[in-house]
Structure 1
Amino acid sequence: MKKEGFSYTFDSSACASCGGRCCTGESGYIYVNKSEIEDISNFLNINTKDFVKKYLYREGFKYSIKERKVGDSYECIFYDATTNGCRVYEARPIQCRTFPFWDYFKTRIDELQLECPGVILGSDDD
């Protein structure tokens, strides 16, 4: 997979063996907007207010998906270690859908490669 403006490509087949590094590790924010909240609530077949209460927390003026602490690490509350997958994959937020093509990583490719084994530098497949 390739995205204009990025100096790397992404091989999604690496997801099968990486152990969910993009869903685990250091604590961070997984922001969701109103439509994403509604989409995930619908996907889980629960009331939006109940979803917000159970799975989100406020960070300033935004909502972020909760994480759980596992040993010395954190993981998204929707990450399922037994399947190495996302329990809301079909309704996952845009932040998750666009990984690893975040502007943040344009100048931090070394950091990205540590997190994501699917990143391939210098593809000439134009």
Structure 2
Amino acid sequence: MCEVKSGFKYSFDPKKCEICKGKCCIGESGYIWINDDEIYRLSKHLNLEVEDFKKRYLIKIGSRYSIREKPYNFGFACKFFDEKTLNCSIYEFRPNQCRTFPFWDYFKKNFKELELECIGVKLLSN
């Protein structure tokens, strides 16, 4: 079943994620923001102390944290992108930024760009 969110002119079919090969996790370098609660949950899931998790997987940008990236093909991938399954290795524990994709305010005015990145989106008919 497709998801629709108020204020957005497109729907999203999460079943398409199964065949997408993780395009939202790879590409140009960018920030993958993660908050303190998400850091805590994910570090516990990985059986790491919070400080060890931060050192291994995060970079600090000002007062915020972003998940590290790794080189992938001709761009970058999230550190938690599984290159064998072409999916997120921490899907159930992924940060809110990932959970809310593709319903980001940025894409309200940049739908064509979103279409290139996500095969699960479709403009709603008026």
Please state which band the TM-score falls in when normalised by the shorter chain: over 0.9
Distance 1:108 1:118 in 2: 15
Partner of 2:63: 61
Identical-pair percentage = 51
C-alpha offsets along residues 95-123 of structure 1, whole Å, 9 cap, x if unaligned?
00000000011100000000001001114
1:74 is aligned to 76
Q: Which amino acid aligns with 1:57?
A: I
Q: Name 1:85's counterpart in structure 2.
A: 87
User: Which residue, out of 93, 99, 102, partners 1:100?
Assistant: 102
Unaligned runs of 5+ in 2: none
Contact 1:19 1:81 in 2 (8 A): no
Q: Which runs of 4+ in 1 moved over 6 A?
A: none
Q: State the secondary structure of the residue aligned to 1:111.
A: helix
TM-score normalised to structure 1 length: 0.94
Contact conserved, 2:12 with 2:120, CA < 8 A, in 1?
yes
Rounded Cα–Cα distance in structure 2 between residues aligned with 1:63 and 1:2: 29
Number of aligned residue pairs: give it.
124
Q: Which among 14, 29, 49 is matched to residue 31 of structure 2? A: 29
State the secondary structure of the residue aligned to 1:68: strand
1:81 deviates by 2.2
Q: Considering only aligned residues, what root-mean-square deviation do their CA atoms show, in Å?
A: 1.1
Q: Which runs of 5+ in 1 are unaligned?
A: none
